Amino acid sequence: MNEAIYKQRRDQLIAMMDDGVAVLSTARLQTRSNDTEYPFRPNSDFYYLTGFTEDNTVLLLSKKEGEEKTVLFVQEKVPEMELWTGKRLGVDAAKACFSVDEIFSIAEYEAQLKELLKEQSLIYFDLFSDDVVYTDLKAAAKTMMHTRGVARSPRTFSDITKLTQQMRLIKSDEEIALIREALAITGKAHHHAMKASHPEQMEYQLQAEYEYIFKKEGAYSDAYTTIIAGGNNANTLHYITNDHALKEGDLVLVDAGCEYGFYASDITRTYPVSGTFSPEQKELYNMVLDVQLKIIDAIKPQGSKKELQRLSERLLTEGMVELGILEGDVASLIEEKKHKQYYPHGIGHWLGIDVHDPCPYSDENGDEILFAEGMVLTIEPGIYLPADDENIPEKYRGIGIRIEDDIVVTKEGYENLSKGIAKTVDEIETACC
């Protein structure tokens, strides 16, 4: 995306602000051990507003009585450090890249902040971040409060993410294109791994097949820690140890997606280790797949996630009663939450720069936000049947199935962005060959 898009976002954010100063910091390098760091990834809101990927940078937006100002603080160019860590953009080059009013070295942040806070009473910042930049912000506000000649000083603080996450709800065409590319790579990885899986293979070895394709095809990284859950391990929803051998006759549940251009994909497929579903596995799989297809087909503008959740619970409960996993009246089972022991999670979540995009589900009045064109969400019904649960038919014990796709709401309904990834029994068995 080009700088014009990021400037447009900054302008939109300033328009949403009351008079005040907004400060957004990107992440800093985090120590992994001793003098080595984790791979750097910028703070999502900061990246959304700047497209800048260097660490230790700050964006400041000021608004007062119709006057607006944007200021960016960046790392200086220090040749001695660049020898070890690579080139920095630096202040001079940044002035040619960013459509902001002023650019300073990050070393000037503390001094410039005090000037920019003068006669401002409201500060927006990330309330949930522990970045030291925000500690400096508090100290500067306190200094202003005790500075002679300053009539107004910051006394009110507001969470800036309340605004940025609202902005991030609707994805632009450019954002959706990046998600499509992430999904194209993720699809290649799933198809490659389906063919590569075999009995006695270690789960971490299958994980390596996914991550190989992610890197080979140009993805920034995986979007989250890949879940490779063979057999009964699939009944641990966030199973990430991935250290067991895959067994003949078992299913393997794989939740894997990559990040491309800092936008995530999130796909779950469940397939047979040996390449062929057993009759019992096929029964359960087709039940979950039928539920997923019906839920996806219900997505439309002005619909809601709560409606999809209720529909998923009813359809899965009906399926479990039909297969003898639950017994009783469907409505009563749902009211008593009996289905929750086998379907404990939600039907999906927002997707974007973060795999669990932290956009709101309710407005400030507590009313649910309805679907609108450009929203992207996952749909992922599942059924989880522990091996030691004697209340379910023995033939189904130890099976966990989840099927997940990434959906964009359109003007008329929806588009399944991941429809090209094998999902039916026939498609999966063919991909496994």
Residue appearing with tokens 């990330």: 126
Architecture of domain 173-432: Alpha-Beta Complex (3.90)
339 annotated active-site: no
Query: Which candidate in 131, 266, 357, 406 is catalytic?
Result: 266
CATH annotation of 3-166: 3.40.350.10
- The CA-based angle 74-101-29, given to 5 degrees, is 15
191 annotated active-site: no
35 annotated active-site: yes
Query: Which candidate in 384, 396, 405, 414 is catalytic?
Result: 384
Paired with 33 in beta bridges are 36
Query: Which candidate in 18, 155, 204, 238 is catalytic?
Result: 238
The predicted structure's pLDDT at residue 110? 87
| Tally: H helices and E strands in the chain | 13, 19
What is the pTM (predicted TM-score) of this model?
0.95
356 annotated active-site: yes
Residues 225 and 143 sit within 8 Å (Cβ to Cβ):
no
Q: How far apart are CA 392 and CA 388, in angstroms?
A: 9
The predicted structure's pLDDT at residue 152? 67
Q: How far apart are CA 339 and CA 320, in angstroms?
A: 8
pLDDT tens string, the chain, 433 residues long: the values are: 899 999 999 999 999 999 999 999 998 888 999 989 999 999 999 999 999 999 999 999 999 988 999 999 999 999 898 888 899 999 999 999 999 999 999 999 988 988 888 878 899 999 888 777 777 787 777 776 667 656 666 778 899 999 999 999 999 999 999 999 999 999 999 999 999 999 999 999 999 999 999 999 999 899 999 999 999 999 999 999 999 999 999 999 999 999 999 999 999 999 999 999 999 999 999 999 999 999 999 999 999 999 999 999 999 999 999 999 999 999 999 999 999 999 999 999 999 999 999 999 999 899 999 999 999 999 999 999 999 999 999 999 999 999 999 999 999 999 999 999 999 999 999 999 9
Query: Which candidate in 209, 255, 313, 405 is catalytic?
Result: 255
- The CA-based angle 227-229-231, given to 5 degrees, is 170
266 annotated active-site: yes
Query: Which candidate in 41, 152, 244, 356 is catalytic?
Result: 356
**Cα-Cα-Cα-Cα dihedral of 28, 32, 36, 40, to 10°?**
-40
Region of 9 (left: φ > 0; alpha: ψ -120 to 50; beta: rest) is: alpha
Domain parsing of the chain, residue ranges: 3-166, 173-432
Token digits of residue 148: 């002679």
Q: How far apart are CA 313 and CA 334, in angstroms?
A: 7
Query: Which candidate in 203, 402, 405, 406 is catalytic?
Result: 402
Q: What digits encode the pLDDT tens for the residues 279-324?
A: 999 999 999 999 999 999 999 999 999 999 999 999 999 999 999 9
Q: What digits encode the pLDDT tens for the residues 146-199?
A: 676 566 667 788 999 999 999 999 999 999 999 999 999 999 999 999 999 999
Paired with 74 in beta bridges are 105
Query: Which candidate in 380, 396, 405, 406 is catalytic?
Result: 380
Query: Which candidate in 10, 88, 168, 349 is catalytic?
Result: 349
- Judge residue 32's burial from the number of C-beta atoms within 10 Å of its C-beta, 0-12 exposed, 13-18 middle, 19 or more buried: exposed
Q: How far is CA 342 from CA 45, 87, 229, 237, 333, in A?
A: 36, 52, 16, 11, 12
Residue 397: which of 409, 385, 412 has the closest Cα? 385
Query: Which candidate in 19, 345, 389, 397 is catalytic?
Result: 345
380 annotated active-site: yes
The predicted structure's pLDDT at residue 153? 64
Phi, then psi, of 407 in degrees rounded to 5: -120, 135
222 annotated active-site: no
Per DSSP (E only), the strands in 42-193 are 58-64, 67-74, 102-105, 122-125, 156-159
190 annotated active-site: no
419 three-state secondary structure? coil
Token digits of residue 303: 């619909």
Q: How far apart are CA 32 and CA 193, in angstroms?
A: 30
Residue appearing with tokens 């937006």: 61
The predicted structure's pLDDT at residue 226? 98
Query: Which candidate in 45, 357, 404, 405 is catalytic?
Result: 404
290 annotated active-site: no
